[in-house]
Amino acid sequence: MNTARLALLLAALTGLFLAVGYGIAGPGGMIIALLLAVGMNAFTYWNADRLVLSMQGARPVSRAEAPDFHRIVEQLAANAGLPTPRVFIIDSDQPNAFATGRDPQHAAVAATRGLLANLTEQEVAGVMAHELAHVRGRDTLIMTIVATLAGAISMIANLFFFLAPLGLAGGDDEEGGGPLGIVGILLTTILAPIAAALVQMAISRSNEYRADKGGAEICGHPLWLASALEKLEALAKGHHNPRAEHNPASAHLFIVNPLSGRQMDSLFSTHPSIENRVQRLREMAGQGGGGRGPWG
């Protein structure tokens, strides 16, 4: 399933990338965009974990520095049948977490200082089980590629938006520009980031529901994750995350939206609403879902 989803996602985002190139510089721009897309996908595949961890200012943490955090991750990974991922901490007061890596053998999990300071051990376990569900489902590769391509599309479109009025980009079709000249450039710069965002949000929202269910099964207690999500939503609103705000294309990597201006379930939300996610987890708990986690 994930292979098919990844192929569909790559096709959609690469198509957007080509459309941006064609709208800005015609057939030549489309070829350049194709080469860039191939190069970026290859680079992202091999460097996904380092790219995202560096972007968010995550630092590796030793067992001596965070013994409880390491123990939780190790127990959950064993319960999920996964290799123990590398463990990182983000020096941010905003409680949040994410996972990254191209496959379970190259995975890493990161939690903010605010998350570890404000959640109980059971709630931390629920959050990290959610992240390990992403690793087990290989969502981490998909999510990182989405972040890279969506960010690149927005960056290139915004660049040409500012260059076009100065006569430094585009031109009419005879001059090698896009088929609609300056109009094509303006339409591309406006519509391309929106289209990329729609693809990004659609894949992210479905992934979060699936990881919530998988995380509840890994830790064995759906209500631990439900409690953590409610607490994260309340606490995250009061803490700004400058690195996430500077890299909004990576917002969908986190367990809760790290950006300001969070709203309920909507087309442009990177995450399903916490209320909807908690309701599903409570229904799962009521049906006896979850299984037996490492805490029994």
233 is catalytic: no
Q: CA separation (Å) from 268 to 13, 145, 211?
A: 17, 19, 20
Model confidence over 26-41: pLDDT tens digits? Answer: 777 778 778 877 787 7
pLDDT of residue 61: 96
Domain ranges, ordered by start, for the chain: 2-286
CA distance 96 to 189: 32
Averaged confidence pLDDT in the chain: 79
pLDDT category at 266 given cuts 50, 70, 90 is very low
Q: Residues 220-224: what's their mean pLDDT?
A: 95
Model confidence over 188-220: pLDDT tens digits? Answer: 666 666 666 666 666 666 788 999 999 999 999
pLDDT at 86 exceeding the cut of 80 = yes
pLDDT of residue 31: 83
Q: Residues 155-179: what's their mean pLDDT?
A: 54
Q: Which of 65, 121, 123, 131 is catalytic?
A: 131
In this prediction the pTM is: 0.78
